[in-house]
Every structure is written in C-alpha cells, then in structure tokens.
Amino acid sequence: MAWQQAAGIGSKRFVCGWCSNTVAASLGYQDVRAGSGVKIMGDKIYICPHCNSPTYFSSERQYPGAAPGAQVANLPPDIKALYEEARQCVAASCFTSAVLASRKLLINIAVNNGAKEGAPFIAYVEHLASAGFVPPNGKGWVDHIRKKGNEANHEIALMTRVDAEELLSFSEMLLKFIYEFPSRIPAS
C-alpha cells in the first residue's frame, strides 16, 4: 500500500475509537497503487479533528472500532479498568470476551456493594436486584442475564454483539446509578 494525503477525500462522520466523540473528519489519506497514483477505492485513513488520532477504514470496517457505551465518572479504579476492558472487547469484535469481562464486572460491583464472595454468578446479579440497585421495572433484565449466564457457563457458546452490548449497557446503567450520580450531589 502507498498512502497519499487526499485532498477532497470527502467528509466522513464516525465515532472515534480513541476519544469516543462523534466527529466529521475531512482530513485523510487514501491508498494509491504504488507509483501509478491510481486510487484504490475503499481503504482510507481519517484523522480525528478532535484528538488528531488516525482511524483506518477498510470496506467500511473501522479500526480501532468505537467502544459502545459512555465513560462513567467516579468509578473505583479496578471497576473502571474492567468496564473499559469490556468496552474495548466489543470495539475489537471480541464478544465472548466482552461478555465474560462484563460478568466479572457485575461480580465486582456486587462485592463492592455488600455481596458475599464465592457465590455463583447469578447470585451476585440477584444481590444487586434485591439490594435495590436494579430499578423495579428492570427485573426482567435479571432473568435475561440468568439465562444468558447459564448459556455462557455450561456450553461453549460464542456470544454475539447483541449479547455483549446488552450486558454492557446493563452494567453502564448500574455504574451510573451506583457511582456517578451520587457523586454529583453537591456537598451541603
């Protein structure tokens, strides 16, 4: 490949995998056939106008991919690291790993909020529900996660993007309620 800075490459809107902002980039590079200057359709590198980092697009696949969910403030360091790891797994299309990281995350959230260690995975999720961390109309989530948890545990069941994003958004909701929102109350 030979990369050439492309004037008039056209604006591209995407979620930057580096800074998580939705951006419209118009500065980029395009693959050209070495020496001939002939442009190869498809492969492009765009530079994020916010963080200046490069993102590579090949046949509309994006590297690095955008991590789903949002950053959550005021997390304990271990929980923050695990949440970010689960997000990055989804961005890298490693969905089974993302589900396993999210389950580990939920266990840590539960233990951090009073659950006893050494229980089966679903006991931690049930602890979060019974201790009032899952909203009343969110109980269907607990049943759904129980079913999915069993699938992942007892069979070699590869998880899908939907599975990974569901569990991650459930985790994000809990993290916001448990750690971020309480920290926003002004000290009186």
What DSSP designation does 114 have? T
**Residue 143 backbone phi and psi in degrees, to 5:** -65, -40
Contact 29, 5 (CB under 8 A): yes
84-113 binders of Zn ion (CB under 5 A) = none
Give the whole-angstrom CA distance, residue 62 versus residue 136. Answer: 38
13-52 binders of Zn ion (CB under 5 A) = 16, 18-19, 48, 50-51
Q: Which is nearer to Zn ion, 23 or 178 (CB)?
A: 23
Minimum separation from the CB atom of position 79 to Zn ion (A): 25
Site string for Zn ion, 158-187 (x = CB under 5 A): ------------------------------
Q: Which is nearer to Zn ion, 21 or 130 (CB)?
A: 21
| HSE-up of residue 90 (Cα within 13 Å, Cβ side) | 24
By CB under 5 A, residue 56 contacts Zn ion = no
Q: Which is nearer to Zn ion, 88 or 96 (CB)?
A: 88
For the chain, helix, strand, coil in percent to 5 are: 45, 20, 35
Which pair of tokens denotes residue 127? 């602890």
Q: Which is nearer to Zn ion, 70 or 123 (CB)?
A: 70
- Give contact residues for Zn ion (rule: CB under 5 A): 16, 18-19, 48, 50-51
